[in-house]
Amino acid sequence: MAREKIKIRKIDNIIFVYKRRGLFKKAEELSVLCDAEVGVIIFSATGKLFESSSS
């Protein structure tokens, strides 16, 4: 009985998730360093909205 080959698929959104987290973290750091309010709005390739604000 032969073993079936497993197909390996790349997760498309994983890079976007890491970049989004990094951008939100940098925005928070900028807010603390400059004592300013910072807002970030991101749309994914599928049109989903992600937003973050410092206040």
pTM of structure? 0.72
Domains of the chain: 14-53 (3.40.1810.10)
**Rounded distance between C-alpha atoms, residue 32 and residue 17, angstroms:** 23
Q: Which position has the token pair 């073993």?
A: 3
**Rounded distance between C-alpha atoms, residue 46 and residue 48, angstroms:** 6
**Rounded distance between C-alpha atoms, residue 15 and residue 52, angstroms:** 19
pLDDT of the residue at 30: 96
Give the tens place of pLDDT for each residue, 6-49. Answer: 777 666 678 889 999 999 999 999 999 999 999 999 998 889 99
Confidence of residue 5 (pLDDT cuts 50, 70, 90): confident
pLDDT of the residue at 26: 96
